[in-house]
Amino acid sequence: MTLPDKAFPVSWDQFHRDARALAWRLSAREQPFRALVCITRGGLVPAAIVSRELNIRTIETVCVVSYTGEIGTEQNQLRLLKEIDESIRSDGGRDVLIVDELTDTGRTASFVREMLPQAHFATVYAKPAGRPLVDTYITEVSQDTWIYFPWDLDVTYAQPIAGADFD
């Protein structure tokens, strides 16, 4: 397994704070959102937080697969597993909020934007290649950083930097 050059582990507490910050930033919008479209699976957690904070009750999913591999570092051809309901797509997604946890290369964002060109796209984290495709985000990380989300992590022992032996 090839590990990325830079790692950015995110705890549950930090992710919750960042997703609430995203909701706070989105709350400044004059017109409320009529629906939220969550890009699964990564967008499920921030969508739950944002929809609660903004009191959005109509929640839809679009299911897209873009990563495979042990730690998801291999990008493949995008595959649409589930479309967005026609009632949300009919006007291009006007007053619809799209939520995902991250925009990386922008491939998924571009793919979903084609379905809802009038929607507002928001992510918690953004990398430079994908950043131009989103309207709102909270934190930018470098393109060569891999974000380890809390739902992908397990608590384990970490060897001290100095390599101390505790025998």
| Mean local confidence (pLDDT), 59-73 | 76
Determine contact, residues 103/39, Cβ cutoff 8 Å. Answer: no
6-150: what fold?
Answer: Rossmann fold (3.40.50)
- Three-state DSSP state, 164: coil
Question: Ramachandran region of residue 99, left (φ > 0), alpha (ψ -120 to 50) or beta?
Answer: beta
Q: Is the pLDDT of residue 86 over 90?
A: yes
Binding-site residues for GMP: 104-108, 146-147
Binding-site residues for guanine: 104, 147
Task: Retrieve residue 119's tokens.
Answer: 């929607």
Give the per-residue pLDDT at 52: 98
Q: What is the pLDDT of residues 87-143, one digit of tens each?
A: 999 999 999 999 999 999 999 999 999 999 999 999 999 999 999 999 999 999 999
Task: Retrieve residue 107's tokens.
Answer: 């491939």
Binding-site residues for 5-phospho-alpha-D-ribose 1-diphosphate: 41-42, 100-108
pTM here?
0.87
**102 beta partners:** 125
Considering only residues 5 and 2, tell me which one the structure prediction assigns the higher pLDDT. Answer: 5
Binding-site residues: 41-42, 100-108, 146-147
